[in-house]
Amino acid sequence: MKNAIIGQSGGPTAAINATLSGVVRELAKSDKVDTIYGMLNGIEGCMQEKFCNLSKLLFTENDFVRLEKTPSAALGSCRLKLPAETSDKPEDVETYTKLFEILNRYNIGYFFYIGGNDSMDTIRKLSSYGDKIGSDIRFVGIPKTIDNDLACTDHTPGYGSAAKYVAASVAEILCDTAVYKLKAVTVVEIMGRDAGWLTAAAALSKPDLVYLPEVPFSVDEFIEDLREILDRKPNVVVAVSEGIRDKNGRYISESEDNVKTDSFGHKQLSGTGRVLEAIIKEKIGCKARTVEFSILQRCAAHIASAADIEESIKIGSFGARLALEGESGCMATFVRTSTKPYSCTCQKAELNSVANVVRQVPREFINERGNHVTSECIEWIRPLVLGESIPEFENGLPVQFII
Amino acid sequence: MKNAIIGQSGGPTAAINATLSGVVRELAKSDKVDTIYGMLNGIEGCMQEKFCNLSKLLFTENDFVRLEKTPSAALGSCRLKLPAETSDKPEDVETYTKLFEILNRYNIGYFFYIGGNDSMDTIRKLSSYGDKIGSDIRFVGIPKTIDNDLACTDHTPGYGSAAKYVAASVAEILCDTAVYKLKAVTVVEIMGRDAGWLTAAAALSKPDLVYLPEVPFSVDEFIEDLREILDRKPNVVVAVSEGIRDKNGRYISESEDNVKTDSFGHKQLSGTGRVLEAIIKEKIGCKARTVEFSILQRCAAHIASAADIEESIKIGSFGARLALEGESGCMATFVRTSTKPYSCTCQKAELNSVANVVRQVPREFINERGNHVTSECIEWIRPLVLGESIPEFENGLPVQFII
């Protein structure tokens, strides 16, 4: 009998704990697995042997259900980037030697990493290094990201809940902004650095304009679009991705000097909405306001999608089965077999084809003008936001599972 | 038999439609009332005879329930400030003459205005002018404001739902920010220009620090408070009112030159959180981020407080009864008779004592250092956020009552 270990990494979502629960639920049923460890703060905690015993923490059905409805990563996260597994620099080799020494000392046979693009790159490296040294540890990645931008899977766990938050909040903002007769533009800034999936979800509530990073953004056309609508009605609501760029590929937010770079070399954006707000005030002269969903869009478990939470548990269990059946170096995926009626199964993809690829919204899901999405796109997103996963409330507030 | 008319005014809330429903429910039962009109966009629409027939729009029980769970003001709002009713300027006299001519032509016997401080001032003026000319129209104000800052009432309809949104979102932000081990401060900026009631509600979820406008804000003490906490733990969450001021009464946000003034002479603030974020980066040098709840805190009906929605209906019905019983020039109020167990009744207050007074959080509800609220304050707020008023969902999104 071997032990198992699970880690969570990358940005939090409302569904990543549901996937953790799914993995543990499945492993707990298996006679191949003894103790189930959680690594605290991902691979960084793993290197420091910071583990918890999930077999003891998740005991009753109530523990599992509460975990499934708790937002963010219960095990903590990290943004540590492992060195290339092919590197022969002594400090890089030492990183891997130390990691595998720890895993072997804890008698780990099954290693799961739940995360996005960068996390899938981490587990790909571990699996590849494991192959090189002949390790028998099974490495399986399980996707999560609100961005929905991972390759080889129809969609990602966590996207549906963030999409539901975005669409419901835009519906409420439309009610709010409709009350005054004064001309006003509300710009809603939505996460999504390189892919517009989450911004596209705003379209479920029919805002006036929707701009994704997949189509070059023209300030002149934007002002034309606004003027045309303001001629008909006083209140305009615009959903815009934080990552929109001009035709030269320059982020619209870069007109402000507030761009920083994280340890993966990603640009840290903020301010796309504020830049547009200033442009509207200058060029149109009407009232303009920015609403940034900020981290709320990834942690609002109180309005999580029931479809997303159920699928997130399911893909966690499926990932566990992959490892138990001897698979390694792969990621669990969703394959949609039909949209109407919605039907979706779990399969696997090689990590080599997943890591470091960004899956964008296809051009045919965006209208010709590039200022809204098509009804086909809305129909594609719809099944992922269905149903309400209401958390347990105590004294008026949601109750959370804290490790 | 006379007709009745109802208007909504000021900033939207998640509960102002519940109060509208309560007024209509009560009036519809009375044999003193024929048609129930809604004025579109408050007193501004009234002057333009923009009315709808609520007797026809609200027909089935389902209509009422859907309206009660729809955020924002279904009748629209306005920010029009009536001239002083005592003015003898010809254009001011004409405003009142025209208004009363319209009300008489529509055979209005009962006039209701649901709103905050400025709206109570509007209905006070109408009532006072009505007295002067010997009108028999009954004028009753019904409070609403997320700010909870109206005088003569224990609390205001709309506050409980906004408070629940704030507290639940802060609980989720605490989960989200806890995942990384890197030192970071998250500043949550909450509405409340002159009163910190809504920011105080964040305390229900135990953020690290809470700053209200009632106590002068010292940047030096703020940095001291942060350093002390950062010595113990990496992630700090700070709830801060948009309206915090230094010891000279200058808004902290005024260090940026982004202050505008609305037609009531109120300063339009934005950027308190951003100003603090910049100070933290400069003085402490750690990661800092701002989350602004913006208009979401006043329109998030999907997490409205059931206690608030029920009380908002109740105070609407009570206000209707006041007018039917012949009262005028008054506002319906809440009187709390007990906190544990919670018990609250409706009474009335003279509009003269309500209008243009701001009720702040009492000093004894704030700790000595001025960086958190007391447990007594939390106990006072708690009953107002109890219960979940879940709206009807269709295709994954909340359904709204649109006039």
Q: Which of A397, A399, A402, A403 has the highest number of chain B CBs within 10 A, making it the mutation to test binding with B? A: A397
Closest CA to A68 of A22, A17, A6: A17
DSSP states of A147-215? T--BTTSSS-TTHHHHHHHHHHHHHHHHHHHTT--S-EEEEEEE--SS--HHHHHGGGG--SEEE-TTS
**Domain range for residue B253?**
159-297
- Dump pLDDT digits (tens) for B205-248: 999 999 999 999 999 999 999 999 999 999 999 999 999 999 99
Q: Examine the pLDDT at B258 and tell me if it is beyond 80.
A: no
Supply the pLDDT for residue B355: 76
Considering the domain boundaries, does residue B27 fall inside one? yes
Considering the domain boundaries, does residue B384 fall inside one? no
Catalytically annotated residues of A: 147
Do A395 and B387 count as a contact with CB atoms less than 8 A apart?
Answer: no
What element of type H or E holds A305? strand A304-305
Q: Which residues pair with A346 in a beta bridge?
A: A334
User: Could you give the CA distance from residue A14 to residue A403 in angstroms, rounded to a whole number?
Assistant: 16
Q: Which of B20, B175, B295 has the highest number of chain A CBs within 10 A, making it the mutation to test binding with A? A: B175
Pick from B263, B297, B331: which residue ends a domain? Answer: B297
Give me the residue from A70, A291, A295 closest to B296, CB to CB. A291
Q: Are B310 and B264 part of one and the same domain?
A: no
Give me the residue from A173, A205, A303 closest to B295, CB to CB. A173
Contact criterion met (CB below 8 Å) for B303 and B164: yes
User: Could you give the CA distance from residue A297 to residue A239 in angstroms, rounded to a whole number?
Assistant: 14
Q: Are B278 and B172 part of one and the same domain?
A: yes
Percent of chain B at pLDDT exceeding 70:
96
| Chain centroid offset of residue B40 CA | 19
Q: Examine the pLDDT at B270 and tell me if it is beyond 80.
A: no
Average pLDDT, chain B: 95
User: Could you give the CA distance from residue B300 to residue A146 in angstroms, rounded to a whole number?
Assistant: 21
Supply the pLDDT for residue A257: 43
Do B296 and A173 count as a contact with CB atoms less than 8 A apart?
Answer: yes
Q: Are B230 and B324 part of one and the same domain?
A: no
| Closest chain B residue by Cα to residue A396 | B386
B103: domain CATH number is 3.40.50.450
Do A172 and B71 count as a contact with CB atoms less than 8 A apart?
Answer: yes
Pick from B297, B319, B337: which residue ends a domain? Answer: B297
Percent of chain B at pLDDT exceeding 90:
92
Q: Are B305 and B215 part of one and the same domain?
A: no
Angle at alpha carbon of residue A62, lines to A60 and A63, rounded to 5°: 70
B228: domain CATH number is 3.40.50.460
Q: Are B101 and B241 part of one and the same domain?
A: no
Q: Are B315 and B283 part of one and the same domain?
A: no
Compare B80 and A374 and report the one with higher pLDDT: A374
Q: Are B22 and B121 part of one and the same domain?
A: yes
Supply the pLDDT for residue A180: 92
Supply the pLDDT for residue A357: 87
Q: Note if the bond before B213 is cis, omega within 30 degrees.
A: no
| Closest chain B residue by Cα to residue A278 | B258
User: Could you give the CA distance from residue A5 to residue A17 in angstroms, rounded to a whole number?
Assistant: 15
Q: pLDDT in tens for each of the 403 residues of chain A?
A: 999 999 999 999 999 999 999 999 999 999 999 999 999 999 999 999 999 999 999 999 999 999 999 999 999 999 899 999 999 999 999 999 999 999 999 999 999 999 999 999 999 999 999 999 999 999 999 999 999 999 999 999 999 999 999 999 999 999 999 999 999 999 999 999 899 999 999 999 999 999 999 999 999 999 999 999 999 999 999 999 999 999 999 999 886 444 445 455 555 445 899 899 989 999 999 999 999 999 999 999 999 999 999 999 999 999 999 999 999 999 999 999 999 999 999 999 999 898 778 999 999 999 999 999 999 999 999 999 999 999 999 999 999 999 8
Considering the domain boundaries, does residue B385 fall inside one? no
What element of type H or E holds A308? helix A306-324
| Neighboring chain A residues of B311 at a CB cutoff of 8 Å | none
Q: Examine the pLDDT at B261 and tell me if it is beyond 70.
A: no
Give me the residue from A179, A299, A303 closest to B175, CB to CB. A299
Considering the domain boundaries, does residue B229 fall inside one? yes
Residue B301 to residues A167, B15, B363, B384, Cα–Cα distance (Å) = 13, 8, 31, 15
Give me the residue from B72, B294, B382 closest to A175, CB to CB. B72
Considering the domain boundaries, does residue B75 fall inside one? yes
| Overall domain count for chain B | 2
Supply the pLDDT for residue B264: 54
Pick from B250, B265, B297: which residue ends a domain? Answer: B297
Closest CA to A398 of B161, B387, B168, B164: B168
- Dump pLDDT digits (tens) for B353-388: 987 789 999 999 999 999 999 999 999 999 999 999
| Chain centroid offset of residue A47 CA | 25
Do B72 and A12 count as a contact with CB atoms less than 8 A apart?
Answer: no
